[in-house]
Amino acid sequence: MRAAAAPVSPVRPRASARLRWTLWVLLISLVASLLVTLVWLAGRYEASQVQTKLERDTADALSDIRAALTRNVQSLQALHARHRSPAAWDEEATRLLRDHREWLRIEWRDASLAPVNDADTPYRPPPFARLGRGNAQADVAQACAVARRVSGPAYSNSYFLPQPDGLGIEVMELCLPQVSAGELQGYMVATYSLSDILAGLVGPQLTRSQDVSFTEADGTRLAMQGSTRRGNRVFTSQQLLDLPGNTMVLRMDSWRGAPDLFPNVLTALVTTMSIALVAVLVLLNKDARRRLRAEEDLADALAFRKAMEDSLVTGLRARDLEGRITYVNPAFCQMVGFEPEELLGYAMPAPYWPPELADEYQKRQDVRLAGQHAPPREGFESVFMRKDGSRFPVLIIEAPLINHEGVQTGWMSAFLDISEQRRVEELSRASQERLQATARLATVGEMASLLSHELNQPLAAIASYATGSINLLNAVDDADRPGDASERAADIELAMRRIAEQAERAGKVIKSVHDFVRRRDKEREPVAPAKLLDTIMPLVQLQARKLGVRVETRLESGLPAVVCDRTMVEQVLLNLARNAMQAMDHASVREPSLLMEVRRASGPGMAAKGWLEFSVADVGPGIPDDVKQQLFTPFFTTKAEGMGLGLSLCRTVVEQHGGFLAFEPRLPAGTIFRFTLPVDDALN
């Protein structure tokens, strides 16, 4: 099935051209970025090769030094083993010093480190001529102590040795204990020059292109040997030379120029990639024309996909002109409980139609598929059946499925499950009705005692007048003068008139309560503000007389009628008036008074839109701060016998009319409750 799509507009070729140019710019940028990346990677590769070679050279140099130091230890051991006499020892020690330039001095010491014999290198003046050998005694003692502990050769920490020419060298001591039959016989002490170790024990091929040096752990150079610096980039490698009693760092620095930009491998790679990219660009240019021919087909598919994916929670269903289902989205499947495979290709009647409504739905679909009646744009309600047999209401919105050529290929339907909405509406309506009925009955219950008090007066008056009338009638037979009979008739007529007035008064009180309690359908009608006050005034006066409250009403002249549910608004006014009078009674106000006022609303934009403001003001103690925050909360009350529904219901009624209910302090004492209602003209 081909989905709906918008007709191809003249702007599309220009948009496609802009898209193609954008793609070309991106492609060229990609090629340039690739070339730059390759050059950078080549430089990194050459630098890594240099660093790897330097690490290898450092390891080789370290290995050479270790091997040479080991051989030197063996030579010292042989010197002591073969030559016990001082003369023979001097001759052999001198020969060793000529063969090993790294030694500055060889000493033979006894077990107490006292000198027995010594020999200095022939290649420089005596190294200890300036400061004497005694200044280095501590380093010798340190090395020999370590040597005794490890039963082998040990080295001291390096130290600086000044020379007679004003310069100096960095040296360290080697101490080799001489043990015979398990008994210490003496020591062989050799003084090393660190710079000569680098010059003589490290291969010359390594020092020709690198700087080789001994450093401490913190980087302080002790001795250095190597070529002069060439190049503007340095590569460094460090290896740890761990000797018994002493640890140094062998550092090798290689000074090189910047790596070559284009090594041979990189040149070949870039050339190959360039040829490949040019070929791809040519192929892309040829393919662009073919893509233009495919855009119309792609537009159909994209429009169809967009129509399906526009909603995530709304069920979607597509049908062809024969009524077969061609697409359903996951939301629709979840709604009816069927899998897509169970619905695709299915014709009417649909498996989610209730059997009792299938004939009606079939007729409606026949009309729809025949194109005789277009579906309403606002949609229509229906009932579907889930796979488990349960029913639920849905809102269906249908539209023709049009392809890019403007031809209808089917129908696209959107479904909204409104069962939860209906349930919430019903619960809200039932709850509102129960609250209203409860509040009104509670109000009538509280008025029952007031009615009995109010009705006692007219009933007592009626009884009194009736008794007086009976007495007058009984006295007619005893009349001795015609004039007395006429006077009694006038008195009886007056008594009967008073009886009628009192009976009418009692009837009005009962009728006011009956009208207030009687259940009425919710409807809005234009009502004059004066009539709203006149209707509730007997009930207000009923409680006002009992509590000794003076009631005053004020109406601004020329007020229009308000559009409202008359019964509910009367209940709001009555509740606010009763609350005000009870608040003043509980606070024992000396001169309680109640003001009920109606005027045009004066808030921003209120007067122009047509609103009236009703207010009920008292002179009571006001509302505490902790009560203000919960004043309109349902079931919150400060009265021991209250239900906490009055003010909550009042605000609900006012807001249903589009107005607002608020309160504020009244100066110097009291509280004012205000609410607004729309006038007759505001209904439209």
Query: Is 2 inside any structural domain?
Result: no
Considering only residues 69 and 269, tell me which one the structure prediction assigns the higher pLDDT: 69
pLDDT in tens, 92-108: 888 988 988 889 899 98
pLDDT in tens, 220-232: 888 888 765 665 6
Q: If you search the block for the tokens 């000074």, which residue do you land on?
A: 255
Q: Which of 357, 386, 417 is a domain's end point?
A: 417
CATH assignment at residue 193? 3.30.450
Strands 154-155 and 550-555, sheet pairing: unpaired
CATH assignment at residue 389? 3.30.450.20
Considering only residues 651 and 453, tell me which one the structure prediction assigns the higher pLDDT: 651
C-alpha distances (whole Å) from 203 to each of 42, 57, 229, 416, 560 are: 31, 10, 19, 88, 115
pLDDT band at 682, cuts 50/70/90? very low
pLDDT value of residue 262: 52
Query: Is 36 inside any structural domain?
Result: no
Residue 409 sits in the same domain as residue 397: yes
pLDDT value of residue 280: 78
pLDDT value of residue 598: 93
For residue 173, give the DSSP letter.
E
d(CA 637, CA 645): 8
What's the maximum distance between 2 C-alpha atoms anywhere in the chain? 191
Residue 346 sits in the same domain as residue 442: no
d(CA 174, CA 103): 10
Residue 225 sits in the same domain as residue 332: no
pLDDT value of residue 190: 92
CATH assignment at residue 657? 3.30.565.10
pLDDT band at 11, cuts 50/70/90? very low
Query: Is 599 inside any structural domain?
Result: yes
First to last CA, the chain: 48
CB 229 within 8 Å of CB 218: no
Residue 500 sits in the same domain as residue 558: no
Least confident among 151-165, 255-269, 352-366: 255-269
d(CA 553, CA 540): 11
pLDDT band at 304, cuts 50/70/90? confident
How many helices (H) and strands (E) the chain has is answered by 16, 22
pLDDT value of residue 613: 93
Residue 477 sits in the same domain as residue 551: no
Residue 476 sits in the same domain as residue 598: no
Considering only residues 613 and 20, tell me which one the structure prediction assigns the higher pLDDT: 613
pLDDT in tens, 17-48: 677 678 777 877 877 777 677 767 766 777 78
Least confident among 66-75, 289-298, 432-441, 496-505: 432-441
CB 193 within 8 Å of CB 170: yes
d(CA 593, CA 239): 102
Q: The dihedral of CA 507, 508, 510, 514: what is its sign?
A: positive
Q: Which of 386, 417, 448 is a domain's end point?
A: 417
Query: Is 483 inside any structural domain?
Result: yes
Query: Is 533 inside any structural domain?
Result: yes
Query: Is 57 inside any structural domain?
Result: yes
pLDDT at 611 over 60: yes
CB 187 within 8 Å of CB 178: yes
pLDDT in tens, 56-81: 888 888 888 889 999 988 888 888 77
Residue 468 sits in the same domain as residue 530: no
Neighbouring C-alpha atoms within 13 Å toward the C-beta of 434:
6
pLDDT value of residue 658: 86
CB 206 within 8 Å of CB 61: yes
pTM over 0.95: no
pLDDT value of residue 309: 66
Residue 85 sits in the same domain as residue 134: yes
Question: In terms of residue numbers, what domain contains 179?
Answer: 50-256
Residue 178 sits in the same domain as residue 245: yes
| Most confident residue range from 151-160, 266-275, 311-320, 431-440 | 151-160
Residue 538 sits in the same domain as residue 659: yes
CATH assignment at residue 428? 1.20.120
Residue 577 sits in the same domain as residue 657: yes
pLDDT value of residue 317: 86
Q: Report CA Rg, the chain.
A: 57
Q: Which of 484, 519, 554 is a domain's end point?
A: 519
pLDDT value of residue 518: 57
pLDDT value of residue 5: 38
Query: Is 42 inside any structural domain?
Result: no
Cis amide linkage into residue 244, ω under 30° from 0: no
d(CA 554, CA 9): 68
For residue 631, give the DSSP letter.
T
Residue 101 sits in the same domain as residue 144: yes
Query: Is 268 inside any structural domain?
Result: no
Domain count across the chain: 4
